[in-house]
Structure 1
Amino acid sequence: MQAILQLLVSGVLLGGVYALGALGLNLIFGVAKVVNFAHGEFLMLGMFAAYWLMTLTGINPYLGAPIIGAAFFLVGLAFYAGLMRFTIYKPELTQVFATLGLSILLQNAALVAWSADYRTIQIMPAGWESIQVLGAYVPTNRLVAFLYAVAILLAVLVFLRSTFIGRAIEAVSQDLVAARLMGIDPDRVFLMTFGLGIAITGVAGGVLMPSFYAFPSVGSFFVLVAFVVVVLGGLGSIAGTILGGLLLGLVETGIGYVAPDLKEATHFVLLILLLAVRPHGLLGVKGAEKETLK
């Protein structure tokens, strides 16, 4: 019984982290129908931003998350204005090659700037690396990252439902033509969506930094996880992102306990099965994966 409780706690915490890492990817796809293959590299840059913020100023990433978020919001605006604005209405392959090329560029730029060394930071003082809850050991860094995930996911939902720009984002995601007829400017919505999506991704990288190592190719792991979460929960569904992250975290933790060697293969197996059986995910709209902008 104790082992089951520990697995559940570990799986839920890991799932919350995965959901946070995938939220920016799913938000951008849900509105702009763009699969951002550079998503992992933006998360990697968020990790390095947290590392250098801590190293140079002493501000830990949990407290410096708003700074990272603001900086990456501007990065997201530049990402759309400098690249995606010219490909947003182009065929899907154009967007794939554009974001994939950016992914390669960012990864190699990070390699030149910071070398291939693994970097991490220690925040929690000795003796506070984990806490015990009902007999289950909870890693403190994972718990803080999970709480950030919950707070950001709730904030995004409130923003989308309670603000004018949030409702405009939802309108464009549901029907671009109807949104235009209602006087909504799609380009402004896309600009804000990319800014918000990349800001969330940067913050995700920052709060994950104390739990993982940062190196130029770390984004390759996280982008695979993000794709699995998005496909599992549903393309374009924020609630689906939460569900997909939790399910993947629980499945991966359970398989890792039974057969540790197969834990990494979980992502590939789930992705292939979901794409073959239910490509729109658990909470996604059927056909969303085939929608295009016109």
Structure 2
Amino acid sequence: MSTQTVAPAATASVVGPPERARASGGPSPRTLLVTLLVLVVASVVAGLVSGSTTVLTQALVTGLLTGGVYSLVAMGLTLVYGVLHIINFANGAMVALAMYITFAVVDATGMHPYATLLITVPAMFLLGAAMQTTLLNPIMKAPIQTQLLVTIGLALAIENGLLLVFGPNPRSVRLPGGAGVSILGATVDTSRIFAFAGALVLVAVLWIVLQRTPVGTAIRSVAANPEGARLVGIDIRSIYVLTFALGAAAAGAAGTLVAPFTTIEPTAGSVFNLTAFVVVVLGGMGNVPGALVGGLIVGLTEQLGGLILPGQSPLLAVFAVFLVVLFAKPRGIFGRAS
């Protein structure tokens, strides 16, 4: 596959075509500052409501750790949308599938849960490539309704397959010797710390691949101008397969990282799917750095919302922020018109 480039002007830090008015660059300093100020104000309010700095610290630390994992889940979704222009409703089901692969391997071999990344990531990469080749490539030019139905069908097929093989009973995976540790006075499960660190490393690796390698340049070129990329010799179909496979691998990594502190059941991916869509819209559709920051915002909002609105679902605050952003900035916090 040739990796000559079209030198797209708007892909220095974004995967997504500028002609569709999605994010045309990374988060601007002004936007980051405003976002930070909003989070600081929310933290102060949450601290006043809770009346305890320890409770506030616990919420902030837990929110950041959870947000890092949300970013990884959303990364595959925004990557696929930015390049293929397909909204992958099977993303959450892929996370659930990876959780079950982790459970099955640990149960059968006694392997450390996070060591199963060596199995789940390649397995999900190959599965994603197979899905794109057999199911999605034929409908790349089909109406969006057809594409949505296919990805929803994929999600249902994965969920029901998991139900058939593993049954409806919840499963769990535990880290050996996993005890809580203290961070700034907050007690945090070690599994969440490992998941956060792993998510940041994997997001960084994906970022480097997209920005610093010939293959990543080809992916960004296809995202910006598919026809132009084709004219300079880039195999568009191969890039589509590779992109969807990378998205599936990211979902697989996320599934393994969250398995030790999440109940494993066939429908577990639905919650991650919903959260990932909120993250992607907040950060800007097709905006990779926006997905990272959006995930952290959602994680913090969940935890701070629980303090400001005690007794309510944490998702209430998340969707309140989501609706406000959607009305104020339909392209997302970090989305800018080209």
TM over 0.5: yes
| Mapping for residues 1-294 of structure 1, pairs under 5 Å | 1-125=53-177, 128-258=178-308, 259-286=310-337
State the AA in 2 paired with 1:214: I
Offset, 1:236: 0.8
Distance 1:273 1:149, change over 3 A: same
Secondary structure class of the residue paired with 1:83? helix
Offset, 1:113: 1.3
Are 2:76 and 2:250, in contact at CA under 8 Å, matched by a contact in 1? yes
Deviations 1:15-40 (A, max 9, x none): 11111111111111111111001111
Q: Which stretch shows the higher mean deviation, 134-143 or 25-34?
A: 134-143
State the AA in 2 paired with 1:24: G
Deviations 1:146-201 (A, max 9, x none): 00110001001111112111110111112212212222111110010011110110
Secondary structure class of the residue paired with 2:312? helix
Gaps of 5+ in 2: 1-52
Distance 1:47 1:88 in 2: 29
Distance 1:25 1:202 in 2: 12
Are 1:224 and 1:267, in contact at CA under 8 Å, matched by a contact in 2? no
Are 2:83 and 2:240, in contact at CA under 8 Å, matched by a contact in 1? yes
State the AA in 2 paired with 1:241: A
State the AA in 1 paired with 2:117: A
Secondary structure class of the residue paired with 2:182? strand
Gaps of 5+ in 1: 288-294
Deviations 1:112-166 (A, max 9, x none): 11111111111131xx421012322122111000001100010011111121111
Structure 1 runs (4+) greater than 4 angstroms displaced: none
Secondary structure class of the residue paired with 1:24? helix
Paired residues, number? 285
Distance 1:190 1:281 in 2: 25
Distance 2:160 2:116 in 1: 26
Secondary structure class of the residue paired with 1:244? helix
TM-score by length of 2: 0.81
TM-score by length of 1: 0.93
**Identical positions, percent:** 35
Offset, 1:272: 3.6
Distance 1:267 1:102 in 2: 27
Larger Rg: 2
